[in-house]
Structure 1
Amino acid sequence: MVTGAGPHETTDDSLADDSSPDSSPDSAVERAETGAGVGKYVCFRLRGQELAVAIEAVKETLAVPPLTRVFLTPPCFAGIINLRGDIVAVLDLAWLLGLGATAVSEATRVVICRGRDRDGDGPGRLEAGVLVDALTELRSFDRAGIAPAPPTLTAAGAGLLAGLATADDGTPLQVLDVDRLLGSEQVRVFQREAH
């Protein structure tokens, strides 16, 4: 149940990028797609590794609310949540990356991500939450410095990443591609079943 963006399209002020004159979601995604310049990334831990997602693809982050498991859904779906009246699917990112199911703790967070639908009708069409072990910080790095994923990663993991980057402080980061995540076969199969 990866949902379309609802009427409550808000971004946590701590994640908003108001540094440019045109900070609409459409222009932000267009800037991210050019691959040029320094981008801001929401970073998080997952199984001892640090991952990053472009801030333009993040609607908000939140503590894990009560998850409702949906009967006969694949294990990559942790459940659904009610987000201010919108039903949002929550994906288990660790499971999708081949790292096993996520055990929810006090530090676990849900990152609500926005991506394109599989028909490519534009940004913000699909929305889903992803479970992460813990948030770390907002980091900046040059988008041009994102290197391809190494061949040592599993096919499942490499298929969901835009590549690898190094933060200004030298921290290695795996950069998640939200469009690939929401368009992955495991998620698309569920989208077809939901219609």
Structure 2
Amino acid sequence: METADMLSGTELQVIVFQLNGEEFAIEVSQVKSIERMQPVTRVPGAVPFVRGVINLRGVITPVIDLNTRFGSEGTHDEKQAKIIIASNNGTEAGLIVDEANDVLDIPADSVEPPPEVNGTISAEYIKGIARSGDRILVVLDLDKVLNPEELKASARR
């Protein structure tokens, strides 16, 4: 969904999560569940950002380490970390984050296109930047984060 598509409604409901001290958001409609951190089985030949797989209620689910995906050196406190089970266009994966504990309704018109700046996260993964009070949230583009071609390439290695 493009930024313009998000702006067509009056409010956008998002799950807010933390990663390396920054706040990010994913649309609630793309989140299936939030799970406690659990043992992840490594998969030989997987791309570096795929930490491995988990057995989630009988379904084998790939798990992506967002720090690695975004090229960050950050690490997770395994006792605090959560796995957000996200789904987008038929692709489902777990996203390891530091914390996930807020659901917010943000005005759709507060979402702006991502700025053209060089930062720790590649702009290709950002759908937009949202303001909620004094908070600034980075809204992720799950089309890019859960790119099925990259995930398939990982399985073929």
- TM-score class normalised by the smaller sequence: 0.7 to 0.9
Residue in 2 that maps onto 1:132: 97
Cα distance change of structure 1 residues 153 and 189 upon mapping to structure 2, 3 Å threshold: farther
Matched, 1:105 2:78: yes
Residue in 1 that maps onto 2:38: 65
SS of residue matched to 2:117 = coil
SS of residue matched to 1:65 = coil
CA-CA distance at 1:87 after TM superposition: 0.2
The number of aligned residues is 154
Instruction: Check conservation: 2:91, 2:148, Cα contact below 8 A.
Output: no
Matched, 1:146 2:111: yes
SS of residue matched to 1:90 = strand
Structure-1 separation of matches of 2:109 and 2:153 = 33
SS of residue matched to 1:41 = strand
- Pairing partner for 2:129 from 148, 164, 184: 164
CA-CA distance at 1:145 after TM superposition: 2.2
Structure-2 separation of matches of 1:57 and 1:164 = 17
Unaligned stretches of 5+ residues in structure 2: none
- Pairing partner for 1:94 from 67, 72, 86: 67
SS of residue matched to 1:39 = strand
Instruction: Check conservation: 1:91, 1:130, Cα contact below 8 A.
Output: yes
CA-CA distance at 1:144 after TM superposition: 2.8
Instruction: Check conservation: 1:92, 1:102, Cα contact below 8 A.
Output: no
Write out per-residue CA displacement over residues 151-174 of structure 1, whole angstroms, 9 at most, x where no aligned residue: 22359621111110011x320000
Higher relative contact order at CA 8 Å, sep ≥6: structure 1 or structure 2? Answer: 2
Write out per-residue CA displacement over residues 69-102 of structure 1, whole angstroms, 9 at most, x where no aligned residue: 1112121011100011100000011111111253
Instruction: Check conservation: 2:20, 2:74, Cα contact below 8 A.
Output: no
CA-CA distance at 1:34 after TM superposition: 5.0
RMSD: 2.3
Instruction: Check conservation: 2:72, 2:121, Cα contact below 8 A.
Output: no
Cα distance change of structure 1 residues 175 and 155 upon mapping to structure 2, 3 Å threshold: same
Residue identity matched to 1:94: N
Cα distance change of structure 1 residues 166 and 37 upon mapping to structure 2, 3 Å threshold: same
Structure-2 separation of matches of 1:166 and 1:146 = 7
Residue identity matched to 1:178: L
TM-score normalised by structure 2 residue count: 0.87
TM-score normalised by structure 1 residue count: 0.71
Same amino acid, percent of matched pairs: 28
The farther-off stretch of 50-59 and 142-151 is 142-151
Residue in 2 that maps onto 1:181: 145
